[in-house]
Structure formats: C-alpha cells, structure tokens
C-alpha cells in the first residue's frame, strides 16, 4: 500500500471516531437535560434591579392580584 491509501484510511477512521464521539456527547447532553434552558426574557430586567426594587415590584403585583 502506498502512503496516500494509508492516509485516506486513517483519515476516514479518525473522522468516524470524532463524529461518533460528538453523537455520544449530544446523547449524554440530551439525557442530562443540559440542552434545556429556562426562559430568561423576564429575568434579565429583574437582575438589573436592586433587591429593594424587586421586593417592591413583587408587593405591588401581589396587591394588584388581591384587589377584586
């Protein structure tokens, strides 16, 4: 066998191993739930507020919900 044939065989084997490893990692991530993300749309605004402001906002929401 010449060196080109050996390089093609070795390259295809390395590519197959890498692709199978990627499939395995995707499967493990699926099993552990790592791909699921919590919605952060409303949380970003709240994370910029101070604790007192967040507490006051929650109290206002509770007061609104309590009124008929």
Locate the domains of the chain by residue range.
1-35
Q: Is the pTM of this model over 0.85?
A: no
pLDDT value at residue 45: 62
Longest dimension (CA), the chain: 86
What is the Cβ-side half-sphere exposure of residue 7, based on CA atoms within 13 angstroms? 3
Per run of 10 residues, the mean pLDDT along the chain (length 68 residues) is 92 97 92 68 66 89 84
Q: What is the DSSP letter of 33?
A: T
> 39 phi and psi, to 5 degrees?
-65, 130
Are 29 and 35 in contact, with CB atoms under 8 Å apart?
yes
Work out the number of other CB atoms within 10 angstroms of the CB of residue 57: 13
């Amino acid at each position: 066998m010449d060196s080109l044939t050996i390089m093609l065989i070795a390259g295809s084997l390395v590519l197959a191993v890498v692709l199978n490893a990627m499939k395995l990692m995707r499967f493990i991530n699926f099993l552990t739930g790592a791909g699921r993300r919590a919605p952060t749309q409303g949380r970003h605004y709240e994370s910029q507020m101070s604790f007192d402001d967040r507490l006051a906002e929650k109290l206002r929401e509770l007061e609104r919900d309590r009124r008929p």
